Amino acid sequence: MLYLIGLGLGDAKDITVKGLEVIKQCSRVYLEAYTSILTVGKEALEEFYGKELILADRETVEQEADTILKGAHQCDVAFLVVGDPFGATTHSDLVLRAVKLGVPYRVIHNASILNAVGCCGLQLYNFGEVVSVVFWTDMWKPESFYDKIAKNRRNGMHTLCLLDIKVKEQSLENLMKGKKIYEPPRYMSVNQAAEQLLAIVQNRRLQGEEPEIAENTVCVGLARVGAVDQKIASGTLQEMTTAALGDPLHSLIITGTLHPLELDMLKLFAVDKSIFEHMAE
């Protein structure tokens, strides 16, 4: 059996009782190590679970999935995912490969950022399409995520922005030379995401558009959701460029139409409460 097990969002103890029981019975346990991170390292998980973990990077999961599934007809294999197992499409691909090989599978769910964002007080049923904000480079500055946010805003919906993670990435130079030298991990901050969004807003104005998002659009920055040092800051998009949220992982919400109850909740986390008092008038 292949087990896909969600680890939750905080630390080793966020695993469900069911998930922990399954891990203890498995012959091999893989830890997916590129779509998200916990606030603790691999060693802390191994100590709590009482099992050695095999790190599975993007290359392993996408190109060597058969290695993970090898022998899963005769023994139990666990694949651990931060959050919930189906937060990334790669994991659906692993399930499809298992089915093709005749390996039965079972999913053990857990909390993910997709539902845990409710901690800021915004109603989950008021969210539209989730978007990913990628790191820009000097040569590549896509704006497609802005268009999805704008569409959500026109429909009065909030947008959860999942911010880019770069783990075990190669520089263009090393990639071209075939050198397996990897760049240090990078995790996008709310500040960086807000700066990129403001750059797009300015570009759209230069093109004669009236952007759906502006400097004073109400946003929410979240960091390390589910951990003991979780941090939330609400304020304008401009304020998000300087909000001090600390270590990764970060997420950013661009709000749509705000219900009075949502406004009251956002005041609890306000960088400047006067913004929300003005909106309530």
55 annotated among ligand-binding-site residues:
no
Q: Are 157 and 128 in contact (CB under 8 A)?
A: yes
The DSSP 8-state label assigned to residue 66 in this structure reads H
**CATH fold of the domain at 2-111:** Cobalt-precorrin-4 Transmethylase; domain 1 (3.40.1010)
* Residue 266 preceded by cis peptide, ω within 30: no
Helix, strand, or coil (residue 36) = coil
CA distances from residue 170 to 34, 37, 176, 184, 200 in whole angstroms, order as listed: 14, 19, 10, 9, 27
E-assigned strands of the chain?
A: 2-6, 28-32, 54-56, 77-81, 105-108, 131-133, 159-163, 165-166, 186-187, 218-223, 231-236, 250-254
87 annotated among ligand-binding-site residues:
yes
112 annotated among ligand-binding-site residues:
yes
* Residue located via tokens 């300015």: 202
Residues in contact with 231: Cβ distance below 8 Å, sequence separation at least 6, in sequence order: 221, 222, 223, 224, 245, 246
31 annotated among ligand-binding-site residues:
no
Domain ranges of the chain: 2-111, 114-278
Digits of tens for pLDDT over the chain (281 positions)? 999 999 999 889 999 999 999 999 999 999 987 767 777 788 999 999 999 999 887 777 777 788 889 888 899 999 999 999 987 667 888 899 999 999 999 999 999 999 999 999 999 999 999 999 999 988 889 999 999 999 999 999 999 999 998 876 655 565 566 666 666 788 999 999 999 999 999 999 999 999 999 999 999 999 999 988 999 999 999 999 999 999 999 999 999 999 999 999 999 999 988 888 777 55
- Provide CATH code, domain 114-278: 3.30.950.10
Overall pTM surpassing 0.85 (yes/no): yes
How far apart are alpha carbons 162 and 172 in whole angstroms?
Answer: 24
156 annotated among ligand-binding-site residues:
no
84 annotated among ligand-binding-site residues:
yes
163 annotated among ligand-binding-site residues:
yes
Residues in contact with 147: Cβ distance below 8 Å, sequence separation at least 6, in sequence order: none
Backbone angles phi, psi at 130, to 5 degrees: -75, 140
